[in-house]
A and B are shown apart, each in its own frame.
Chain A
Amino acid sequence: MNADLIVFDNVSRFYGDVLGVNNVNLSVPPGITSLVGPNGAGKTTLMNLMTGLIRPTRGNISVLGVRPNQPDELFRLVGYCTQFDTFPKGMTGFDFVKSFLLIHGFDDLDAERRAWESIDRVNMRDAANRRLAAYSKGMRQRMKLAQALSHSPRVLVLDEPLNGLDPMARAETIALFEALGAQGVHVIVSSHILHEVDRISDQVILLSQGYVVAEGAIESVRGEVKDHPIQIVLRCDNPRAVAARLFEDDNIVEVGIHKDRQGLLIRTLDVDAMYLLLNRIILEVGIEVESVAPADEDVNSVYQYLIGAEGATV
């Protein structure tokens, strides 16, 4: 068992006849890993499996070398902010965080210090002594996050952590994830906000109908999707000339001129060959290039290609 990875080895989980996840083989390195998929894809199931809240029907899981059926060791390493928006009754935010730190085994002073530290990290100090029942959705979400962070875990599992957060809180929370990821913490996030997933993730795991459809850095995942030609946006001073030359290449599938007449959208089957050709064209025709950038090397595009608009695997 690798002590730096979260490993799923041929893991399946069935809820009676209903498939949760099937034949999942994953190795999740440190950094920010996003779980992406439509509703019912198996994201929460995967998270519950790696935290031992449910047991796999088949296969093995290890989290930094620890099995999920060893909660006394596992949860020293793992913090999980679940999707459930429920809390023990009658508690304040501070009590909520501190009580579970006491159950961890921290002494009273240490638990109090850690509780305040994690509450400060999510900017909830002012409301910490109010009852949880009186919190707004965003406040409850942040307090859950504080509780998950409070024991300084090495693995942070977050099920839709940005739900209910206003834009400011969202930006702060994302910054927190990025800081944790940079420190070598495994941050596993599930989210539907694809442009934010794009921004923060080091790697993505795409799930659909209980199967892992793709995993890895988004650029390499995109490169593997051969069915859909790569889209490149080129901004230059003479797009027509470039377009005319590009059509000579068999790998170019489509070229469209932007309505402002200063840009081209190129769709190609071989992006490396396209770049070589583009270099030749630039030198031969003498074009001034403003920018060249991939147009569909993001989670949203990969999601559409692999999973589709209706959530079915394409």
Chain B
Amino acid sequence: MTDLSTLPWGLWIRQVGSVMRLEVRKSFLARRALWIYLLAGLPLLLTIGHSLIEASRTRPGCSIPEDSMVYAGIFQFFYLRLGIYFGCVGIFTNLFRSEMLEKTMHYYLLTPVRREVLLVGKYLAGLIVAATLFALSVALAFLTISAHFGQEYRDFILTGPGGWQLGWYVTVAVLASVGYGAVFLVCGLLYRNPMIPAAVIMVWEGINGFLPAILQKFSITFYLKSLSPVEVPVKGPLALIVVNVEPTPAWIAIPGLLLVSLAILVIAARRARRLEISYTE
């Protein structure tokens, strides 16, 4: 068993940092990353617009609890299933796949960096971008959706349930980035066309509520639904999409999700070790 203290941790940390810097600069601080910012920013524009419209009315057309329900719906249906999902598809599948398509992967493979370290660096770069963008969007959208109520809403957040709701929404957004990030990173490594497994996963996540209990557990959304602070008031079959009949407690869901993500990353690392340059369609 290798003595962990003899491993070059300092070098690996520096290399992870360098890979992250390069990745963030190349892929995310560039014009072609605009779509991610748009995807994250759309709900925020909406809530700001709503707040401005309500502020201009003489009588409010809604209440804080109503807005809270609406936000819960947006979070479940837009953020979790669309925004963060497609955002992570785009960010994480491209970490390796785009390098292969652009024929630039070899530059990384020709450096004295372990493939696992390269993988960690790229994953962390994607995670930082996804988690920051979507957590920020979630938080700002939450803070602005009822901003027109002024002090009442501030009290709702600071002394009422709003504060812990906000905390959980941000936590779920970050966990979604962690989980989906790992899944789509490995899709980008394993498949020439990672959009096909992404489509399959989307369908799987969509029908999760209708599956038997044992199969439901093979899903990122299953654990995230359990952690959402506010239940969406829907009736009929749609309720199965957003509500867990047997929710998993947070102390199981969070470590469980993190462990599953770690296991997926280990699979990805093993695949990365055997990566060969094959720049064909």
Interface residues of A (CB under 8 A from B): 48, 51-55, 71-76, 78-80, 82, 84, 86-91, 99-100, 102-105, 107, 147
Contacts and interface: CB of A to CB of B under 8 A. Distances in A.
B109 A84 contact: no
B116 to A, nearest CB: 10
B279 A84 contact: yes
A1 to B, nearest CB: 18
Nearest to A147: B107
Interface in B255-281: 274, 276-279
Contacts of B19: 103
Given A71-B115, A105-B14, A51 B110 contact: yes
Nearest to B18: A102
B103 interface: yes
B92 to A, nearest CB: 18
Interface in B18-73: 18-19, 21-22, 25-26, 30, 32
Interface in B57-114: 102-104, 106-114
Contacts of B114: 71-72
Given A53-B276, A86-B104, A104 B112 contact: yes
Contacts of A51: 110
B113 A86 contact: no
B110 A72 contact: no
Contact of A89 (B30, B276, B279): B30
A105 B102 contact: no
B223 to A, nearest CB: 35
B30 A53 contact: no
Nearest to A80: B110
9 contacts: A51-B110, A54-B277, A72-B114, A74-B112, A82-B106, A84-B279, A86-B104, A88-B22, A91-B26
A78 B114 CA distance: 15
Nearest to B110: A80
B11 interface: yes
A89 B26 contact: yes
Contacts of B111: 71, 75, 100, 103-104
B248 interface: no
Q: Report which residue of B18, B104, B114, B115 has the largest number of chain A beta carbons within 10 angstroms of its beta carbon.
A: B18
A51 B113 CA distance: 13
A86 B111 CA distance: 17
A88 B105 CA distance: 9
Interface residues of B, number: 29
A103 B20 CA distance: 10
B15 interface: yes
Nearest to A86: B103
Complex A-B, nearest 10 residue pairs according to Cβ-Cβ distance, in ascending order = A75-B112, A102-B18, A86-B103, A53-B277, A103-B18, A103-B111, A54-B276, A76-B112, A99-B22, A72-B112
Nearest to B29: A90
Contacts of A48: 277
A74 B109 CA distance: 11
B18 A99 contact: yes
A112 to B, nearest CB: 13
B114 to A, nearest CB: 5
Contacts of A105: 11, 14-15, 18, 112-113
Contacts of A102: 14, 18, 21-22
Contacts of A89: 26, 30, 32, 102
Contacts of B15: 103, 105
Nearest to B26: A88
Contacts of A84: 103, 106, 279
A43 to B, nearest CB: 15
Interface in B223-281: 274, 276-279
A51 B111 CA distance: 10
A24 B143 CA distance: 67
A91 B22 CA distance: 10
Q: Report which residue of A48, A82, A88 has the largest number of chain B beta carbons within 10 angstroms of its beta carbon.
A: A88
Q: Report which residue of A54, A71, A91, A104 has the largest number of chain B beta carbons within 10 angstroms of its beta carbon.
A: A71
Contacts of A53: 106, 109-110, 276-277
Interface in B188-224: none
B280 to A, nearest CB: 10
A159 to B, nearest CB: 11
B171 to A, nearest CB: 32
Contacts of A73: 112
Nearest to B11: A105
A51 B107 CA distance: 12
B276 A55 contact: yes
A88 B104 contact: yes
A54 B277 CA distance: 6
Given A103-B15, A103-B18, A105-B14, A71 B26 contact: no
Given A55-B276, A103-B22, A86 B109 contact: no
A94 to B, nearest CB: 14
A7 to B, nearest CB: 20
Nearest to A102: B18
A12 B18 CA distance: 35
Given A73-B112, A84-B106, A105-B113, 7 more contacts: A53-B106, A55-B274, A71-B112, A72-B113, A90-B26, A99-B18, A105-B112
A71 B113 contact: yes
Contacts of A107: 14
B21 A100 contact: no
Contacts of A100: 107, 111
